[in-house]
Amino acid sequence: MKREKRGLLFLVMGGTELSWLCAWATFLTTAILHHPFPFQEAIGTFALAAVLTLLSKGKGWRIVYVLGIHACGLILAALRIAYVFNSWSYPFLSQAWLTEFFNTPRGPWEWFHLILLLFWALLFWLGGVTLARRSTGYSTLCSRFDLGIAVFFVLFLARSLLLIKGGIKIEDPVSQFLLFPFFLFSLLAIGLARNQSTTPKHFLSGYQSIGIIISFTLVVVLFGTGLVLFFLPYLTLSAEMGHSILKTVAGPLGAILVSVLRFIYFHGAIQQEKSSPPPKEGAGDLLSPVESSWWTELLEKILLWVFGSLIGLIALAAFGVAVFYLFRWLLSRTSISRKRQSSWYLISLWVEQLRIFLLSCLRRIGRLVKGYRRGAPLYVALLSWGCHSGIPHFVSETPIEYGLRLNHHFPALKREIGLIIDAFNREVYGEIILNERQLGQAQLALRRLRSPLHWPLRIKTWFFRPTPFPEVAR
Q: DSSP for 31-45?
A: HHHSSPPPHHHHHHH
CA–CA distance, 413 with 392 (Å, rounded to integer): 17
Give me the mean pLDDT over the 87-111 stretch: 82
Distances (CA, A) of 377 to 236, 420, 437: 85, 10, 17
Residue 299 forms part of a structural domain:
no
pLDDT, residue 122, reads: 92
Nearest-angstrom CA–CA distance, 457 and 466? 11
Same domain, 95 and 148: yes
The answer to whether residues 229 and 365 belong to one domain is no
Give the rounded distance of the alpha carbon of 336 from its chain centre: 10
- pLDDT at residue 66 above 80? yes
Written as one string, the DSSP assignment of 382-438 is HHHHHHHTT-PPPTT--HHHHHHHHHHH-GGGHHHHHHHHHHHHHHHTS-----HHH
**428-443, pLDDT tens digit by residue?**
888 888 888 888 888 8
Mean pLDDT (the chain, rounded): 76
Residue 339 has pLDDT above 80, yes or no: no
Q: In sequence order, which ranges of 34-134 are alpha helices (DSSP H)? A: 39-56, 63-85, 95-103, 108-133
**Within this chain, do residues 91 and 229 fall inside the same structural domain, yes or no?**
yes
**What integer pLDDT is reported at residue 263 of this predicted model?**
60
pLDDT reported for residue 123: 92
Separation CA 59–CA 52 (nearest Å): 12
Q: Considering the domain boundaries, does residue 345 fall inside one?
A: yes
Average pLDDT over residues 175-195: 80
* pLDDT at res. 235: 62
- Specify if 120 maps to a domain: yes
Are 95 and 105 members of one domain?
yes
The CA-based angle 199-226-212, given to 5 degrees, is: 35
**pLDDT for 248:** 64
Q: Are residues 350 and 435 in the same domain?
A: no
Between residues 116 and 303, which one has the greater pLDDT?
A: 116
**How many CB atoms neighbour CB 431 within 10 A?**
7
Whether residue 29 is contained in a domain is answered as: yes
Judge if 362 and 376 occupy the same domain.
no
Question: Which residue segment(s) compose the domain that 45 sits in?
Answer: 3-197+215-239
Residue 469 contacts by C-beta under 8 Å, 6 or more apart in sequence?
Answer: 404, 405, 408, 409
More confident residue, 250 or 379: 379
Task: State the burial class of residue 343 (Cβ atoms within 10 Å of its Cβ: 0-12, 13-18, 19+).
Answer: exposed
Asked if residue 145 belongs to a domain, the reply is yes
| Helical axes 39-56 vs 108-133, angle rounded to 10° | 40
Q: What per-residue confidence (pLDDT) applies to 426?
A: 86
- Find all residues with CB under 8 Å of 211, minimum gap 6, and list them: 203
- Specify whether 9 is located in the same domain as 91: yes
**325 in a structural domain:** no
Query: Taking the model in full, what pTM does it have?
Result: 0.50
- 177 and 165 in a single domain? The answer is yes
Rounded to the nearest 5°, which phi and psi values hold at 118?
-65, -35
Query: Of 303 and 261, which is predicted with more confidence?
Result: 303
In a domain, 9, yes or no: yes
Asked whether residue 397 is domain-assigned, the answer is yes
Q: Which of 319, 346, 370 is the last residue of a domain?
A: 370
For 397-435, write each residue's pLDDT tens digit: 889 999 999 888 888 888 989 988 988 888 888 888 888
The residue that leads in pLDDT, 252 or 401, is 401
- Count other C-beta atoms under 10 Å from residue 103's C-beta: 7
Residue-level pLDDT at 352:
82
Which of 94-108, 146-160, 459-473 has the lowest average pLDDT?
459-473
State the total domains in the chain.
3
Of 235, 227, 173, the residue nearest 43 (C-alpha): 227
Rounded Cα distance, 457 and 438, in Å: 27
Same domain for 13 and 162? yes
Do both 410 and 425 map to the same domain? yes
Tell me the backbone φ, ψ of residue 225, rounded to 5 degrees: -65, -40
Sign of CA pseudo-dihedral 429, 430, 431, 437: negative
> In the prediction, which pLDDT does 30 show?
85
pLDDT grade, residue 270 (50/70/90)? very low
* Residue 2 main-chain phi, psi, to 5 deg: -70, 160
% of the chain beyond a pLDDT of 90: 4
Mean pLDDT of 385-400: 87
- Asked if pLDDT for residue 470 goes beyond 50, the answer is no
Give me the sign of the Cα torsion angle 28, 31, 34, 40: positive
If asked whether residues 14 and 150 sit together in one domain, one would say yes
With cut-offs at 50, 70 and 90, classify the pLDDT of residue 290.
very low
Are 135 and 10 members of one domain? yes
Alpha carbons within 13 A on the beta-carbon side of 277: 3
| H-helix or E-strand spanning residue 380 | helix 375-388
Q: Is the pLDDT of residue 322 over 60?
A: yes
> What is the reported pLDDT for 316?
85
pLDDT tier at 2 (50, 70, 90 boundaries)? low
Q: Taking Cα atoms as reference points, which of 463, 471, 470, 455 lies closest to residue 410?
A: 455
